[in-house]
Chain A
């Protein structure tokens, strides 16, 4: 059987730009057709912005790579038109078990809050995510003519000018040049774009190697996340077993720092470890083996004039806690609508500085969480190891120690507290939906709240009269009118009203809250919309 990652999905074809007398001018060029570049391109095209994606490859990535997708990214993928397919294919899990030495010391249930369309997490190989995004991108390209995906197109030179960027692109038929108003580099942790521009990427190196293996096996392990500290089959190190679709299991074995990387990848060397871990009788096939090290680092700024960085090219975290692809998708969620308004001329370029402010804030949160998990999993000093082991010993006996066990924390979306785009708050309403927060889903009459939000500015009203559409400085704000009668479970009131009797929420196109009030006031909404599009006096940090 030909695996999906062996199939060219967007093979090189010659394009008109290659025969143009002068370099063609584009609105937005995205470098990299990984999950982040594709998500951004789909988002832009859906909002009516023409976008061209360049990638030196023409296939999805090889091996499972990112495998955990959290609720918020699934909501973003819903908005991009492929969330259902991804969720249907994925494996939903809620139970995690933690082992220390030979004993199970505790288990946890994610116990996801009810009243959400999407589960807390699904497991899915990155190549499926990429396949579905490629297919969605090609579909939008066919339907709208706004999205072009160019395989076998490798960017070899990037020259920023004041009002755009000039690119040299290598192809199997030779190089060509194009210009673009905006360039978004989604070309991964090793970002050639970042290197070509000589930009920084600073942070902390973790001196450790991990063997990652995708194992195909028919085994009766439950659909749970199993994490081992110091197990007999990988003494002094950690291990992880996690289920993916198609009977593929992710196995992650910590190896330590001083190892022979090539020797460790030898299947003959891996076999005894897997037998000891999975049982002598388990038949398995190795689908993919890789050894990785990692760093937690980010660029100082994600926006450099007309060049913007998103995903791993801008920030890199350890894999513990599923914050790589998940945070990259949230970058694109944040960036797409801002680029659109700037290109439309309805918002100033300064709006893109808020992408930098908000996503640097989120990256720091992710790096903090991921560094803490890594320090717990791979203690770097004797005292750190003694306390780590003490926590694990105590966790088996006493509930108090269990919250201290850190084998990776749930990837939760950042609330952009202090963002320059945040408008007025209302103290009577729940903190979870304060300005800067992503919308909390809730069941409403006929479906889910999250499906009624996004892609444009909206006024979410609960038991408040307001105009169906407001046009403020050329930006339309559409009303989503709800009432207590739309709230069968009470979740809407609990998540949006709190102590308030009624509510007006100004929602951003990325489903984040911009401002909120108890009553509608056109002047207040106008002021808040100007703040949310970088044209007003800011309340938060500058």
Chain B
């Protein structure tokens, strides 16, 4: 676990079982969708996941991680 993880509670170490299976499902979700619909779907997905997380500290850390900010995970 990196320092960032300890401070914010955001998991940045691998946490998804069957990564290849998950990735295939994520791509399949968007299959055949025009770019606009895909964009809308992604926005809804972000909101659903953000609500599940709930914790504002964790969400802020996730925003930073998504922007590739902060120290890399070892």
B44 within 8 Å of A (CB atoms): yes
B2 within 8 Å of A (CB atoms): no
Given contacts A386-B39, A400-B48, 17 further A-B contacts (CB under 8 A): A386-B40, A386-B43, A387-B43, A389-B40, A390-B40, A390-B43, A390-B44, A390-B46, A390-B47, A391-B47, A393-B40, A394-B44, A394-B48, A398-B48, A400-B51, A401-B47, A401-B51
Task: Give a binary string over B31-49; 1 marks a CB under 8 Å from any A CB, 0 the rest.
Answer: 0000000011001101110
Shortest CB-to-CB span from B65 to chain A, Å, is 18
Shortest CB-to-CB span from B49 to chain A, Å, is 11
Which partner residue on chain B sits nearest A397 by CB separation? Answer: B44
Q: CA A390 – CA B48 in complex, angstroms? A: 10
Chain B residue contacts of A389, Cβ below 8 A = 40, 43
Shortest CB-to-CB span from A328 to chain B, Å, is 33
Chain B residue contacts of A393, Cβ below 8 A = 40, 44
Q: Using a CB-CB cutoff of 8 Å, which residues 357-402 of chain A contact chain B?
A: 386-387, 389-391, 393-394, 398, 400-401
Q: CA A400 – CA B44 in complex, angstroms? A: 12
Which partner residue on chain A sits nearest B43 by CB separation? Answer: A390
Chain A residue contacts of B43, Cβ below 8 A = 386-387, 389-390
Say what secondary structure dominates the interface of chain A. Answer: helix
Q: CA A398 – CA B46 in complex, angstroms? A: 14
What 3 A-B pairs come out closest when comparing CB atoms? Answer: A390-B43, A400-B51, A390-B44
Q: CA A386 – CA B46 in complex, angstroms? A: 11
Q: CA A400 – CA B47 in complex, angstroms? A: 9
Say which size band chain B's interface belongs to. Answer: under 10
Shortest CB-to-CB span from B47 to chain A, Å, is 6
A271 within 8 Å of B (CB atoms): no
Say which size band chain A's interface belongs to. Answer: 10 to 19
Chain B residue contacts of A386, Cβ below 8 A = 39-40, 43
By a beta-carbon cutoff of 8 Å, the part of chain A in contact with chain B is: 386-387, 389-391, 393-394, 398, 400-401, 404
Listed A/B pairs (13) with beta-carbon separation below 8 Å: A386-B39, A386-B40, A389-B43, A390-B46, A390-B47, A391-B47, A393-B44, A394-B44, A394-B48, A398-B48, A400-B51, A401-B47, A404-B47
Chain B residue contacts of A390, Cβ below 8 A = 40, 43-44, 46-47
Q: CA A116 – CA B48 in complex, angstroms? A: 37
Chain A residue contacts of B39, Cβ below 8 A = 386
Say what secondary structure dominates the interface of chain B. Answer: helix
Residue of A390, A391, A404 ringed by the most chain B CB atoms within 10 A: A390
Q: CA A401 – CA B51 in complex, angstroms? A: 8
Q: CA A389 – CA B46 in complex, angstroms? A: 13
Query: A394, B40: Cβ atoms under 8 Å?
Result: no
Chain A residue contacts of B47, Cβ below 8 A = 387, 390-391, 394, 401, 404
Shortest CB-to-CB span from A91 to chain B, Å, is 35
Q: CA A391 – CA B39 in complex, angstroms? A: 13
Chain A residue contacts of B44, Cβ below 8 A = 390, 393-394
Q: CA A391 – CA B40 in complex, angstroms? A: 10
Which partner residue on chain B sits nearest A401 by CB separation? Answer: B47
Chain A residue contacts of B40, Cβ below 8 A = 386, 389-390, 393
Q: CA A280 – CA B48 in complex, angstroms? A: 40
Q: CA A398 – CA B52 in complex, angstroms? A: 12
Shortest CB-to-CB span from A62 to chain B, Å, is 43
Q: Using a CB-CB cutoff of 8 Å, which residues 1-57 of chain B contact chain A?
A: 39-40, 43-44, 46-48, 51
Shortest CB-to-CB span from B36 to chain A, Å, is 9
Shortest CB-to-CB span from A379 to chain B, Å, is 12
Chain B residue contacts of A387, Cβ below 8 A = 43, 46-47
Chain A residue contacts of B46, Cβ below 8 A = 387, 390
Shortest CB-to-CB span from A448 to chain B, Å, is 38
Which partner residue on chain B sits nearest A391 by CB separation? Answer: B47
Which partner residue on chain A sits nearest B52 by CB separation? Answer: A400
Which partner residue on chain B sits nearest A382 by CB separation? Answer: B39
Chain B residue contacts of A404, Cβ below 8 A = 47
Shortest CB-to-CB span from A236 to chain B, Å, is 14
Q: CA A387 – CA B44 in complex, angstroms? A: 7
Which partner residue on chain B sits nearest A387 by CB separation? Answer: B43
Chain B residue contacts of A400, Cβ below 8 A = 48, 51
Shortest CB-to-CB span from A103 to chain B, Å, is 16
Q: CA A403 – CA B40 in complex, angstroms? A: 19
Shortest CB-to-CB span from A387 to chain B, Å, is 5
Q: CA A58 – CA B43 in complex, angstroms? A: 53
Q: CA A387 – CA B42 in complex, angstroms? A: 9
Which partner residue on chain B sits nearest A403 by CB separation? Answer: B51
Q: CA A401 – CA B46 in complex, angstroms? A: 12
Shortest CB-to-CB span from B39 to chain A, Å, is 5
Q: CA A393 – CA B40 in complex, angstroms? A: 10
Chain B residue contacts of A394, Cβ below 8 A = 44, 47-48
Q: CA A398 – CA B43 in complex, angstroms? A: 15
Shortest CB-to-CB span from B63 to chain A, Å, is 13
Q: CA A389 – CA B41 in complex, angstroms? A: 10
Which partner residue on chain B sits nearest A388 by CB separation? Answer: B43
Chain A residue contacts of B51, Cβ below 8 A = 400-401
Q: CA A393 – CA B68 in complex, angstroms? A: 29
Q: CA A211 – CA B31 in complex, angstroms? A: 42
Which partner residue on chain B sits nearest A400 by CB separation? Answer: B51
Q: CA A400 – CA B46 in complex, angstroms? A: 13
Shortest CB-to-CB span from B59 to chain A, Å, is 13
Q: CA A386 – CA B43 in complex, angstroms? A: 7
Residue of A386, A401, A404 ringed by the most chain B CB atoms within 10 A: A386
Shortest CB-to-CB span from B30 to chain A, Å, is 15
Shortest CB-to-CB span from A218 to chain B, Å, is 41
Q: CA A404 – CA B50 in complex, angstroms? A: 12
Q: CA A394 – CA B42 in complex, angstroms? A: 12
